[in-house]
Amino acid sequence: MAVARRIAPAPELAGLFPRIAPQLPGGGALAEVRERAWRRFLEQGLPSVKVEAWKYSRIPQQVNRPMGLARPETPPAAVVREALAGGPHARRLVFANGIAVPSLAHLGGLPQGVRVLPLEEAIARFPERVAEAFARIEDDRGFTDLNTALCRSGAWIELDPGVELTWPLQLLFVAMGGEAAAMTHPRVVVRLGEGAKLHLIESHVSGRDGAVFTNAVLQAEIGEGARLVLERAVMLDADQTLLDEAVCELAAGARLLANGATLGGGLVRGELEVHFRGEGGEALLNGLYVTRGREHVDTAVRVLHHAGGCHSDQFFKGVLDEQAHAVFAGRITVAPGAQRSDAYQVNRNLLLSDEAEVDTRPELEIEADDVRCTHGATVGCLDPNALFYMRARGLAPEVAEAMLTYAFAAEVVERMVDADLARKVRRAILRRVPGGARLETEGLLEEVPA
């Protein structure tokens, strides 16, 4: 009767590593780290719904099936062109099924002190440093270990102290479905030296229909007084799955602005973990999910105030239509002694269909007294006052509803930094909101001040 807390990996998955280990990049220290992660993965298995953090998510069960590793290929040029973001000067790495496509990289003219390279190249040049970075994060979710063990590609991004990359850097991941389901485990390592500045854009788009399971891990170390802007947009197909974990470590006075939007994908789970390791850090985290069909979008945010005097603010909104299911779990932890912590969290959800479901679980875990922490969560329908106001200005109810739904979602987009990405997200919202397509043709997006 009782459900086990852990799911044993499917036999095909359990037998995978020994078979492919010799072909994985890196040897020596990295091989050891991989080996260790794999053993842990086999021991721990995958989390079941009995594990609190996965209570509303059956993703682990759903991905625990025979799947080969995705193969390198070249994504269609039109798809890449459509997904470009970051403006005319943006530098870029393009990945097809999680594997870097060298011919599409644009990394020329990077300033002194900025190193951006595909992960496999980093492994070839300094395997010990990569091994050391990989070993730094491990958790009990299983998927991080799986990534560490099986990762073949990704990006290594390093900025020396005081260096600023003035153009955005885009990591464009194109999922290319094939006849058989395939999985990929890209890893991104970001290291910002003291006072460095980086604007990173991560896009996940579909290049071709078909089941692809992307198990991505991003780890960022943000040095003292450094600043990272991390923007992420997910627009995948209904049979594609993305598990994405970002772990950010903030030194004293470091700043993080993370903006995310999920506008498509059968199963998407975005995990964001922020650790304040020094005083005076700031993390502003904004997220949006607009879901429909049978999509399942799961957002897990954990902000840990280990050091005092830091400020965190979470702002997450969701729109759910048809049979979509969204889950939000946000936790603020203030460790003993982390005085003068300031932490906010808001999660608002709009339910448009009587078959949709939302589960939200904001959580406060406070062990210091000189703090100001608040959270709020709402689930509801459109505000009848606003609807009336619009109708009292002559708008038809369905137009008013579409406009309000769009506006509800757009509030998050207003916080986005990159105009290209924001425009793409706005367009995607309009295409997903009932009646939104009409607003687009009527020029809603043109009116929005840039």
Residue 257 contacts another protein per CB under 8 A? no
Picking from 378, 371, 319, the residue whose alpha carbon sits closest to that of residue 346 is 378
Residue where the block lists tokens 């997220």: 287
Least separation in angstroms between residue 123's CB and another protein is 41
The answer to whether 261 and 425 have CB atoms below 8 angstroms apart is yes
Q: Between residues 62 and 374, which has the closer beta carbon with respect to another protein?
A: 374
Residue 447 contacts another protein per CB under 8 A? yes
Residues in Cβ contact with 352 at an 8 Å cutoff, skipping those fewer than 6 apart: 319, 320, 321, 381, 405, 434
Q: Which of helix, strand or coil describes residue 317?
A: strand
Distance spanning both ends of the chain, measured CA to CA: 57
Show the binding pattern over residues 36-75: x = contacts another protein (CB under 8 A), - = does not: ----------------x---x-------------------
Q: Between residues 303 and 352, which has the closer beta carbon with respect to another protein?
A: 352
Q: Between residues 126 and 388, which has the closer beta carbon with respect to another protein?
A: 388
Q: Using CB under 8 A, which of the segments 40-48, 128-136, 223-231, 436-444 binds another protein?
A: 436-444
Residue 4 contacts another protein per CB under 8 A? no
Q: Between residues 313 and 411, which has the closer beta carbon with respect to another protein?
A: 411
Least separation in angstroms between residue 286's CB and another protein is 13
Cα–Cα distances in angstroms (integers) from residue 272 to residues 247, 253, 437, in the given order: 6, 19, 32
Tell me, letter by letter, the H, E, C secondary structure of 72-83. Answer: CCCCCHHHHHHH
Write out the binding residues for another protein, residues 347-406 only, by CB under 8 A.
349, 351-354, 356-381, 383-386, 388-397, 399, 403-404, 406
* Count of H-run helices and E-run strands, the chain: 13, 23
The answer to whether 174 and 95 have CB atoms below 8 angstroms apart is yes
Residue 14 contacts another protein per CB under 8 A? no
* Burial class for 175, CB neighbours closer than 10 Å (0-12, 13-18, 19+): buried
Least separation in angstroms between residue 365's CB and another protein is 5
Residue 407 contacts another protein per CB under 8 A? yes
Write out the binding residues for another protein, residues 310-349 only, by CB under 8 A.
336-337, 339, 349
309 vs 215: CA distance, rounded Å:
34
Least separation in angstroms between residue 330's CB and another protein is 11
The answer to whether 278 and 249 have CB atoms below 8 angstroms apart is no
Least separation in angstroms between residue 293's CB and another protein is 16
# of chain residues touching another protein (CB under 8 A) = 67
Q: Between residues 69 and 399, which has the closer beta carbon with respect to another protein?
A: 399
Q: Which of helix, strand or coil describes residue 337?
A: coil
81 vs 85: CA distance, rounded Å:
9
Q: Between residues 100 and 356, which has the closer beta carbon with respect to another protein?
A: 356
The answer to whether 138 and 152 have CB atoms below 8 angstroms apart is no
Least separation in angstroms between residue 424's CB and another protein is 17
Per-residue tokens: 39: 């053993």
Residue 122 contacts another protein per CB under 8 A? no
Q: Between residues 170 and 345, which has the closer beta carbon with respect to another protein?
A: 345
Q: Between residues 31 and 382, which has the closer beta carbon with respect to another protein?
A: 382
Least separation in angstroms between residue 303's CB and another protein is 14
Helix (H) or strand (E) holding 174: strand 169-176
Q: Tell me phi and psi for residue 288, to 5 degrees.
A: -140, 140
One DSSP character per residue, 42-109 reads: HHH-EE-TTSGGGTT--HHHHH-S--EEPPP----HHHHHHH--S-TT-EEEEEETTEE-GGG-B-TT
Least separation in angstroms between residue 271's CB and another protein is 18
Least separation in angstroms between residue 442's CB and another protein is 7
Q: Between residues 178 and 435, which has the closer beta carbon with respect to another protein?
A: 435
Residue 442 contacts another protein per CB under 8 A? yes
Least separation in angstroms between residue 203's CB and another protein is 23
Picking from 177, 244, 181, 185, the residue whose alpha carbon sits closest to that of residue 20 is 185
Q: Between residues 58 and 106, which has the closer beta carbon with respect to another protein?
A: 58
Q: Between residues 179 and 446, which has the closer beta carbon with respect to another protein?
A: 446
Q: Using CB under 8 A, which of the segments 15-23, 191-199, 224-232, 441-449 binds another protein?
A: 441-449
Picking from 286, 346, 258, 274, the residue whose alpha carbon sits closest to that of residue 310 is 274
Picking from 344, 275, 274, 281, the residue whose alpha carbon sits closest to that of residue 309 is 281
Residues that bind another protein (CB under 8 A): 2, 52, 56, 336-337, 339, 349, 351-354, 356-381, 383-386, 388-397, 399, 403-404, 406-411, 414, 442-444, 447-449
